Chains A and B, each alone.
Chain A
Amino acid sequence: MDPTTGRMLNADMEFYRLAGLNDIPELKVHMMTGKGYDERGVIGLGEPPAVSPGATISNAVANALGVRVGILPITPDKVLAAMNQAQKAGA
């Protein structure tokens, strides 16, 4: 949002950058069904996939870089800032 005019600048799919097909690796879906699960009855499926990927990706980035990027989405500017800060702290 532009702070002066209050205009939303990324109100479309061009500027609101969602991951595309080429950005997402193969997904494996495991359904937790059977004894011990079925007894709980009907459980929503829409929300869980929205919760865990962020944490998973964030953990993968931390594992790869040794630096935690605490804010989603993890964009190049945030990764570079986190790495620069870690370098400074280490120096």
Chain B
Amino acid sequence: MRAFEYVSPTNTKQAASLLSATWGQTEILAGGTDLLALMKEDVVAPKRLVNIKDIKELSGVNPDGSGLRIGALTTLVEVAENASVKEKYPALAEAVQEAASPQIRNMATLGGNLCQRPRCWYFRNGLGLLPKDESGKDLVPAGENRYHAILGNSGVAKFVSPSTIVPVLIAYGAKVRLEGPKGKRELPLEKFYVIPKTEKDREHDLLPNELVTEITLPSAEGWKVAHYEIRQKAAFDWPLAVAAVALQGDASNVQAARVVLGHVAPTPWVSPEAAAALKGQKVSEETAKKVADAALNNAKPLSQNAYKVQLARVAVKRAILKAAGGAA
């Protein structure tokens, strides 16, 4: 690990002012479960770490109108064990409980989970987010791409969005609040993620000197939400495919739906095709299959990951059936 400067601001404004306007110069330290590993591997080498753990206002789960507001510094274990989350957003509690390992959930924060860097093994080996050889040829299409993207991969970005919690947050209609030198702003969570086009871009819309301050959830009244992960290992593993589904109204006549996939594209993948295919339908094994086909209709697998299309279909189907109340 390289030497760095360490600062501990006590409010958000101060923190934003200590962050550089250029990526790579400074990094935000919260739980550190991702950042410290990246620094040890020399994938990132910030000149200054801005520790935000002393900013009290960024922690905690509080009511927000008829919904909830979760501070960015709230740890995953605090989210999973919060009574309001468990009662009103059970699929979120479940997704958080399944993330990483108990040790990591005790340290990792929800804001950090939103901003964690991709698990792409080219990126983690220091070859860059959009890895290329010396002649400028993309490495992933000709390389080890079994865990890479099957959707949204027509550009240079082939990695997959790493969070297993974000798809279910998007299914619940979550928004993210950011604060930077230009003030505060709020985005629907799905708009927070972007597909980078150059190595200078990041995979989210955050400015280098902005912080995620809060995640807000609207009331989930009248919605049935479920989350389904397909993994190689039973614990402490990143999934091969994730699906989160929210259904409004009765399972015999779906009024509206949100279908969000994870680990299939460089961003969490919202499928309007699948949502449209669910609307007005009675949920059954057959409809769930049709919706899953609609969600993966535009999938373009790489040389080694066609199997992920089938896994993602199954994840969508099972999440729909689980949301409707049946066994997954």
* A interface, over-half SS: loop
Q: Which of A7, A21, A81 contacts B307 (CB 8 A)?
A: A81
**In the bound complex, do residue B143 and residue A23 qualify as a contact, i.e. CB atoms below 8 Å apart?**
no
Q: Is the CB of B119 within 8 A of A75?
A: no
| Inter-chain contact B143/A2, CB cutoff 8 Å | yes
Which of B124, B137, B305: most chain A Cβ within 10 A?
B124
Determine the main DSSP class of B at the interface with A: loop
Using CB atoms, name the residue of chain A closest to B37: A14
Q: From A3, which residue of chain B is reached at the shortest CB distance? A: B143
B144 A23 Cβ-Cβ under 8 A: no
Task: Give Cα A2 to B137, complex, Å.
Answer: 13
A20-62 vs B, Cβ < 8 Å mask (1 yes, 0 no) = 1111000000000000000000000000000000000000000
Whether A19 touches B307, Cβ cut-off 8 Å, given contacts A5-B133, A9-B122, A76-B240, is no
Enumerate chain B residues within 8 angstroms of A11, measured Cβ to Cβ: 125
* Nearest CB in chain A: distance from B122 CB, A: 7
B182 within 8 A of A: no
Q: Write out the residue numbers on chain B whose beta carbons fall within 8 Å of the beta carbon of A4.
A: 133, 137, 139, 142-143
Q: Is the CB of B121 within 8 A of A15?
A: yes
Contact residues in B for A86 (Cβ distance below 8 Å): none
CB distance from B144 to the nearest CB of A (A): 5
Q: How far is the CA of A10 from the CA of B124 in the complex (A)?
A: 10
The interface size bin for chain A is 20 to 34
Contact of B236 among A7, A10, A15, A20 (CB under 8 A): A20
Name the CB-closest residue of A to B121.
A9
B144 lies within 8 A of A76 (CB): no
- Chain A residues contacting B240 (CB-CB under 8 Å) are 76
A1 contacts partner chain B, Cβ-Cβ < 8 Å: yes
Contact of B234 among A2, A15, A20 (CB under 8 A): A20
Residues from chain A with a CB closer than 8 A to the CB of B127 are: 2, 5, 7
- The distance from the CB of A74 to the nearest CB of chain B, in whole angstroms, is 10
**Contacts A76-B240, A76-B307; is A20 near B233 (CB within 8 Å)?**
yes
Task: Name the residue on B nearest A23 (C-beta).
Answer: B234
Alpha-carbon distance A59/B230, docked complex (angstroms): 23
Nearest to B132 among chain A residues (CB) is A4
Give the residues in chain B near A77, CB-CB below 8 Å.
146, 304-305, 307
- Produce 1/0 per residue, B124-149, CB < 8 A to A: 11010000010001010011101000
Residues of A within 8 A of B236 (CB): 20
Docked Cα-Cα span, A14 to B139, in Å, equals 21
Which are the 9 A-B pairs with shortest beta-carbon distances? A22-B234, A77-B307, A9-B121, A22-B235, A80-B307, A2-B143, A23-B234, A4-B133, A15-B121
Chain B interfacial positions (CB closer than 8 Å to A): 119, 121-122, 124-125, 127, 133, 137, 139, 142-144, 146, 230, 232-237, 240, 304-305, 307, 310-311
Extra 12 A-B pairs, beta carbons < 8 Å, given A4-B133, A19-B233, A76-B311: A2-B144, A9-B121, A9-B144, A10-B121, A11-B125, A17-B232, A20-B236, A20-B237, A22-B233, A23-B233, A23-B235, A77-B305
Q: A residues engaging B (CB < 8 A)?
A: 1-5, 7, 9-11, 14-15, 17, 19-23, 75-77, 80-81
